[in-house]
A and B are shown apart, each in its own frame.
Chain A
């Protein structure tokens, strides 16, 4: 009898090409690239190397793209425009499968991968972006890499990696009404800390995770890196398989049947051992907001600002004891690879419907496909009537690289993943929360408990 293995162990073992001094040369099934990957292409060319597996490499521009239109000419500055254009040159030159800005499948790379069926259970998927952990929601081993590693994968379709430790985070029970997947992951990060899972691959388990939709699981896995985990994953199940059936790049016919049979062997064996175990009760989680400059600074909306690092409190313009509820906001951002899928937009629209935004609010769908679906459902109209801006797909104000930026001291209710100093613009003050909570902040003009609306 073989030793019991975890989902991570099984995927890892299947991808080891060879071992050397504690490192494994790991085969990479899918490599995603974006408009920030230009250093990797530049280095590759300096070396005179080619992309070894262009059909296993997929690209879409996202970090630098304008969200007002689909024309690079509308980029905020000439340098930003050059980034979008350089991406197009690189993917064309190397024959990489790409969804360019004019393609309605374009979007944030972590929205596009799952949506197109590029991400599949059991695959090793990497991308030069830390939120690559998102894709683990489908039962893949997916993690972010740097530009040197990017170049290495482009040239060889492999990476040198040491096996990581494993952590199982079990969330049991039923989420109360008004509590979203975003609240679950913020509660997890608040509980284990921003460095709580450093050096680990996290498997999310438990009834509250199993009962989540794929989009909810994507939100949870997305923020694994905010707890320090390079990868987060969820065992593939019937929810996963029905999500993937008929996706454009999913296997078809007999190949699907064969893949499915394999995917069903992937979940962790019941006796699998993890290097650490954490558990949370879903029933105790409430709508969360962050108050500081690390995602671990998350509290239920009913809480008060705690005694915290002076630097974070000063940056955020907050004093200990201040109630989070009622804190006025200057701007609202609904988008990012964490929360820009159709279910996120439905949740935000349900709050916005029939109300008016009291502060500038912007909705940025995660992909052209999400945008199209939202428009077919009339969500764009709901948002517009409520005074929200309806934009084109991209990373936008999550990281501000395309010029969508908050101003100094502006307080932003945001569905993104990082409240770091300067993340949404120099001096901008980010409060992270769910799409419904962000929409509630927009119509109230202050942080509020969406359950009370």
Chain B
């Protein structure tokens, strides 16, 4: 069941590195643990050993929004990366681009992945670094990121998933309600490509 998201105003943390892979977000050795134990403690587990890592520093340790850099969440398909953000309290990640699988995994876990142009992400990160504790708003209804007392950044997001997040729709439940259409497709397809449908 997808968690609902409409709008969030929270402390945001800036994170500069390019191409942050999901192995950094949650190292592979933690993926064998059941979800119910919570994945928040694994978020950036090994990166956190660096004392000056942004999420170790107050007030960024209270952040619920991350402003990152290009190709964020590249690499492995591990949904543990999205679990870790979710369980650590994050509900939005802003970056110029995302690894495609991580992007999809965020949507399924009630985390809004916001794509903003490179220059806007860079300027947001600069503001956050200069004024730690700054809150920003991610508004999915208006499709805007708003700096408190500052600029408004419009963003585009897939209409299907926007709706899903706004209403907290259960995606699998929706598809199960379409089973008759799937079955009809499958019957016709099996006649054309019998080797495909077993």
Contact = CB atoms under 8 A, between A and B. Distances in A.
A375 B105 CA distance: 41
A146 B71 contact: no
Nearest to B35: A39
B176 A156 contact: yes
A255 B31 contact: no
A148 interface: yes
B178 A195 contact: no
Interface stretch (A106-114, A157-165, A321-329): A157-165
Interface in A123-156: 123, 128-130, 144-149, 151-152, 155-156
A36 interface: yes
A29 B109 CA distance: 26
B196 A29 contact: yes
Contact of A294 (B19, B100, B175): B19
A42 B176 contact: no
A255 B77 contact: no
A420 B23 contact: yes
Contact of A420 (B24, B175, B198): B24
B120 interface: no
A422 B172 contact: no
Interface in A19-33: 20-23, 25, 27, 29
B43 interface: no
B17 interface: yes
A228 B100 contact: yes
Contacts of B97: 195, 198-199
Given A148-B79, A198-B98, A255-B194, A22 B160 contact: yes
Contacts of A25: 175, 178, 181-182
Interface string B160-198: 110100000001100110110110011001000111111
A155 B108 contact: no
B83 to A, nearest CB: 8
A21 B159 contact: yes
A144 B77 contact: yes
Interface in A81-133: 82-83, 120, 122-123, 128-130
B90 to A, nearest CB: 16
Contacts of B185: 17-18, 27
B191 to A, nearest CB: 11
A123 to B, nearest CB: 6
A17 B198 CA distance: 18
B3 to A, nearest CB: 12
Contacts of A198: 71, 74, 97-100
Contacts of A294: 19, 21
B70 interface: yes
- Tier of interface size on chain A: 35 or more
B71 A228 contact: yes
Contact of B109 (A22, A80, A148, A162): A148
B169 to A, nearest CB: 11
Contact of A152 (B19, B27, B171, B193): B171
B104 A421 contact: no
A255 B195 contact: yes
Nearest to B198: A55
Contacts of B77: 128-130, 144-146
B29 interface: yes
A158 B101 contact: no
B29 A160 contact: no
A49 B173 CA distance: 11
A399 B28 contact: yes
B101 A145 contact: yes
Given A17-B181, A195-B97, A27 B186 contact: yes
Interface in B65-107: 70-71, 74-79, 82, 97-101, 104-105
B61 interface: no
B23 A21 contact: no
A123 B196 contact: yes
B75 A195 contact: no
A156 B54 CA distance: 41
A18 B160 CA distance: 13
Contacts of A152: 171-172, 175
A204 interface: no
A410 to B, nearest CB: 16
Given A23-B160, A145-B101, A156 B172 contact: yes
Nearest to B1: A47
Contact of A195 (B71, B193, B194): B71
A401 B182 contact: no
B158 interface: yes
A217 interface: no
A194 interface: yes
B150 interface: no
A148 B197 contact: no
B51 interface: no
B196 to A, nearest CB: 5
A352 B161 CA distance: 52
- Residue among A23, A194, A195, A426 with max Cβ neighbours from chain B (10 Å): A195
Contacts of A353: none
A162 B178 contact: no
A418 interface: yes
24 contacts: A14-B189, A17-B181, A18-B178, A25-B178, A27-B186, A29-B196, A47-B172, A56-B198, A79-B32, A144-B77, A146-B104, A155-B172, A160-B160, A162-B160, A228-B74, A228-B100, A251-B195, A258-B194, A399-B76, A401-B28, A401-B32, A420-B23, A421-B24, A422-B46
Given A29-B196, A156-B175, A401-B32, 8 more contacts: A22-B160, A36-B31, A49-B176, A147-B79, A162-B160, A228-B71, A418-B76, A421-B24
Interface of B: 17-19, 21, 23-24, 27-29, 31-32, 34-35, 46, 70-71, 74-79, 82, 97-101, 104-105, 108-109, 158-161, 163, 171-172, 175-176, 178-179, 181-182, 185-186, 189, 193-198
